[in-house]
Structure formats: C-alpha cells, structure tokens
Amino acid sequence: MAFPFDILHAELIRTALESEKQRSAAKSEFHEVFNGLNLEHIEDGLIQKAFLHTNAETKLETIGFRVGRSLVEKVARDSPKLVTELEIVKFICKEFWVSVFGKQVDNLRTNHQGVYVVQDSRFTTLRTFPEGTQFIKDSAYFLALPCGLIRGALSALNIRAIVTPTVESLPATKFHIQIQQK
C-alpha cells in the first residue's frame, strides 16, 4: 500500500502554477480596466486576485510549513529532549527525514555559526526527474514544499531559520539552513 503523495504533490504544483497565471492575467486585466477608468465593469474578485501577493513557490512553501509544524510533533513525541541547536538539526536530518522523505540525509555540514548544509544525493520529490542538468529550472517547484516542511519542523522545535535549496545535478539536492538569531 502506498499513498500517492507524488501525484498529489504534482497536482498541487500544477494548481499553484495555474493560480499564479490567473493572478498575472488578473493583474494585466486590472491595469486595462483601471486605465480606462471603467469602474463599473470590474468583475467580482478581480481586485482581490490582482493584488494577491503570493507566487506559486510561496504558496507551496506555506503549505509545507504548516504540514512540517504538525508532522514534527508526531515524530518528536518519543524522542529525548533536544537541547542544543546541533541536536535539533541532527534530529531533523535523521528521524524527521526518515519518516517524511523515507531515507536519511547523506551529509550534514556546519560552520558552527548557524549555517548548516544538508546534502541528499537522491531527494524524494525529485526521484521522477531524469538525472542530469536539463530540468533544474523546473525542479525548483518540486523543492518549495519540502523546504517549507523543514522550516516548519525547525520552527516547531523553536528554531527560526531560512531554508533554501540548491541543485547542481538532479536528483542531488543541497539544503542550506540558515539559523536566525533571536
């Protein structure tokens, strides 16, 4: 038995991209209407759509953040108390990664000043991509939600961080976790 998460994720990305397209269409339509100052003809919801300040990646990241926050509660339930920052990041890379992405990370490096680099040589959501550099641009959408997941998990464990992915050659991914000092 397997939940078709991949397919749901692909659908999510498709809808997010679609709504982004709608937003930019609404924006240009609004400009047209506004320049004509034909205010009676503004369609319902046009203004709201035109001024929505989210693009597809942000949206996916927000969803991931929410999910990460609640997922980590389940994963961390039986674990001993995590004290230091390094312990928390290690926990994310081991237990959280295994239960969410199905495998451990391959490498974790830090400069001991709040920057961690997590390396995963075969990242789950990029598994369906062919190897190589051809689709790196498209892969960004497939990493937005996982980034949110990690950020959400860290935030539930009391660490504020910025998580950014870099891909040099699919499906290997590096996540840069930059801790924000409180």
Partner 1 sequence: MSSKTKQNLADSKKMSAELFCLTYGAMVTEMLKDYEDPKDVTIQLDKMGFNMGSRLADDFLAKNANVPRCVDTRQIADVLCRNAIPCYLGVNATVTNWSNGDRDFSIILESNPLTELVQVPPHLISAGLSYSQLIAGAIRGALEAVHFKVFASAVPESSNSNTEIRIRFDQVLKDSIPAGEDD
Instruction: Return the amino acid letter for 70.
Output: S
Shortest Å, Cβ 61 to partner 1 = 11
Q: What is d(CA 107, CA 119) in angstroms, rounded to the nearest whole number?
A: 5
For partner 1, the closer CB: 15 or 38: 15
For partner 1, the closer CB: 74 or 109: 74
Residues engaged in binding partner 1 (CB under 8 A): 1-9, 11-12, 14-15, 19, 45, 52, 59, 62-64, 66-67, 70-71, 74, 98-103, 124, 127, 145
| Whole-Å CA distances, 51 to 22, 28, 55 | 11, 11, 11
Identify any residues that bridge with 163 across adjacent strands, giving them in sequence order.
177
Shortest Å, Cβ 116 to partner 1 = 22
For 118, the token pair is 């997590």
For partner 1, the closer CB: 58 or 110: 58
- Residue 163: how many other CB atoms lie within 10 Å: 24
CB 93 within 8 A of CB 53: no
For partner 1, the closer CB: 8 or 25: 8
CB 65 within 8 A of CB 147: no
Shortest Å, Cβ 63 to partner 1 = 4
- Residue 48: how many other CB atoms lie within 10 Å: 10
For partner 1, the closer CB: 67 or 117: 67
Shortest Å, Cβ 8 to partner 1 = 6
Shortest Å, Cβ 115 to partner 1 = 27
